[in-house]
Amino acid sequence: MLRNTLLAGSSAANGSFGILSGLPNTVCVQCVRWKRKPLWLGTAKSKLFRIPERPKIPKDETIELLRLHNNYRTLVRSIRHHITEAVIGSQARVDTELRAKQEEEDFVRCVALNNEWNESKAKARDERLAKAREIRREEILRKIIAQEQLAAKQLENIEKTVKRVKEEAITFITEKNIDQAIEDALNNPVDHNWALDLEGTIHRGKYVQPQANEGQRQKRMQPGV
């Protein structure tokens, strides 16, 4: 690569580039060195205690250098002022109607872009609201169905309770059958003095009420006796 670069450089210096046609992918290689020693390397040991001598410039040469420097600064300042005045003048010559037209076109373009954004946002909002309404409708419908099922179940329970009460109403004691109920209770005494063991055997009470005869029963039923 270095040989090709040297050949290309020598050909360019001689004014002939015919050799470049036979060199594919020619690359220019340049060596770069530090102009000064990097600061992070520190001072060399050989120059650690060396005090450089201050250069002595003749007075007439110093005056000439100062004159050239002042001339350079004056020229640069004048060029800067000239460019500034040229730019300001070109800006002042801009047609106000053209600027107003450009501003109007920019405003129209911004309005169109804003309307496009508003339409896209409105479309997305409508889709979101429609989806939310559909979800809300399904939720309300589900609650209504659950409420109807609960009401039907409660009504069924009420009907069962009413039916059971109607069936049990036959055994209720009323003013019409209270005498018969008392007579049945006296004729069929019930002894609750009994116990049940783990094997399921019923053990009757030790003290059983004696059966009263018919005369005592009639005497007991007479008022004031």
Helices marked H in the chain — which ranges? 2-14, 59-92, 96-168, 178-187, 214-221
Q: State residue 200's pLDDT score.
A: 85
Q: What is the pTM of this model?
A: 0.33
CA 96/CA 45 separation, integer angstroms: 71
When comparing pLDDT for 102 and 88, which is higher? 102
Region 13-28: mean pLDDT is 51
What 3-state DSSP class applies to 225? coil
% of the chain exceeding 70 in pLDDT: 75
Per-residue model confidence as pLDDT tens digits over 112-167: 999 999 999 999 999 999 999 999 999 999 999 999 999 999 999 999 999 998 88
Residues ≥6 apart with Cβ < 8 Å to 204 = 191, 193, 194
Q: Would the pLDDT of 67 be above 50? A: yes
Q: State residue 145's pLDDT score.
A: 96
Tokens for 90? 């070109």
Q: Would the pLDDT of 81 be above 90? A: yes
Helix (H) or strand (E) holding 23: none
Q: How confident is the model at residue 185 (pLDDT cuts 50, 70, 90)?
A: confident
Q: State residue 8's pLDDT score.
A: 42
Helix (H) or strand (E) holding 58: none
